[in-house]
């Protein structure tokens, strides 16, 4: 008889593993049926998609893929592979979040982008955003909120109405 084990979502799950752990593919998509996961997932997507679209398509006042890659690699000194991963996290990661596909992976990518943006650019400008244009740059409060949402999604998964939930199957 398979042994019950705690899943990453905190619910009981049953697996046929000698070590009593979820297989890594199942652990990546395991989630509960929570409304909170849905709300966090959609909120992060709504906030991140415009940023990704700026970088990929030049929408919303952005400069598009080539100019963004050039800015990241030439002006900021970011290796091209990390620049590409950052752009993919904000664009494809946001699209994956809206449907809850590989939620943990997408949220992890966005979380890493938020940490790097905070350390490389926004930390020096202090905590607060530049609401009234009185400072040189933007603070990191937005990045902290996005990071917190991303961490919550990495821990709990995509929740209600996610492709991940359908892939993982219902917990027993």
What does the chain come to in residues? Answer: 172
Residue 152: its H or E element: helix 141-156
Closest by CA position to 10, among listed 26, 29, 31: 31
pLDDT tens string 118-162? 999 999 999 998 888 887 889 999 999 999 999 999 999 999 999
What is the pLDDT, as a whole number, of residue 5? Answer: 39
pTM: 0.83
């Amino acid at each position: 008889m398979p042994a019950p084990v705690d899943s990453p979502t905190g619910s009981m799950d049953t697996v046929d593993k000698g070590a009593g752990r979820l297989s890594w593919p199942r652990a990546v998509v395991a989630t509960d049926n929570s409304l909170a996961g849905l709300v966090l997932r959609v909120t992060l997507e709504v906030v991140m998609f415009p940023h990704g679209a700026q970088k990929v398509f030049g929408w919303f006042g952005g400069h598009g893929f080539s100019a963004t890659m050039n800015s990241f690699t030439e002006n900021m000194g970011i290796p091209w592979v990390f620049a590409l991963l950052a752009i993919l996290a904000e664009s494809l990661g946001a699209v994956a979040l809206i449907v809850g596909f590989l939620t943990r992976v997408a949220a992890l990518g966005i979380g890493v982008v938020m940490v790097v943006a905070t350390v490389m650019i926004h930390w020096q400008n202090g905590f607060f955003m530049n609401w009234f244009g009185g400072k040189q740059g933007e603070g990191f409060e937005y990045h902290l909120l996005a990071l917190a949402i991303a961490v919550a999604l990495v821990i709990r998964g995509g929740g209600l109405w996610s492709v991940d939930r359908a892939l993982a199957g219902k917990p027993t």
